[in-house]
């Protein structure tokens, strides 16, 4: 078998790139983009950074982990993945604007 090296840039250097999106497609993509930006603006204040610390030997903290979570209810319930907090002895959360919050594990569903 012989392998031939091809220089892809040279034959196409002066050729214009074909437009793969029509004007209608671009309008639709702009609408999707605007909708996504708006959804992020609405939801981002409810998103938290969750940090958990886990027990180690002789009462010392052995490891920590982190993940995201979001405020689920006005009274402060936060939902995050079980693997982020399962077995944690201390849980801290931080809001998008940097405010630190202490958190308590209320429930866990590893499955």
Looking at residue 70, its pLDDT comes to 93
Looking at residue 42, its pLDDT comes to 93
Mean pLDDT of 53-62: 74
Q: Do residues 93 and 77 lie in contact, with contact meaning Cβ atoms separated by under 8 Å?
A: no
Count Cα atoms within 13 angstroms, Cβ side, for 99: 7
What is the percent of the chain with per-residue pLDDT over 70, rounded to a whole number? 78
Residues 18-55: tens digit of each pLDDT:
667 688 888 999 999 999 999 999 999 999 999 999 88
Q: Do residues 65 and 51 lie in contact, with contact meaning Cβ atoms separated by under 8 Å?
A: yes
pLDDT band at 17 (very low <50, low <70, confident <90, very high): low
Supply 2's token pair.
């012989």
Residues 61-90: tens digit of each pLDDT:
677 889 999 999 999 899 999 999 998 989
Q: C-alpha distances in angstroms, 52 versus 17, 18, 43, 68, 106?
A: 50, 50, 23, 11, 14
What is the percent of the chain with per-residue pLDDT over 90, rounded to a whole number? 54
Mean pLDDT of 99-105: 93
Q: What is the DSSP letter of 15?
A: S
């Amino acid at each position: 078998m012989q392998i031939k090296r091809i220089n892809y840039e040279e034959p196409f250097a002066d050729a214009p790139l074909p437009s793969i999106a029509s004007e209608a497609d671009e309008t639709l993509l702009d609408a999707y983009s605007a909708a996504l930006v708006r959804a992020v603006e609405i939801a981002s204040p409810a998103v938290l950074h969750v940090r958990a610390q886990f027990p180690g030997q002789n009462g010392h903290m052995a490891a920590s982990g982190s993940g995201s979570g979001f405020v689920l209810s006005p009274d402060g319930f936060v939902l995050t993945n079980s693997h982020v907090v399962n077995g944690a002895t201390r849980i801290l959360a931080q809001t998008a604007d940097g405010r630190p919050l202490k958190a308590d594990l209320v429930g866990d569903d590893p499955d």
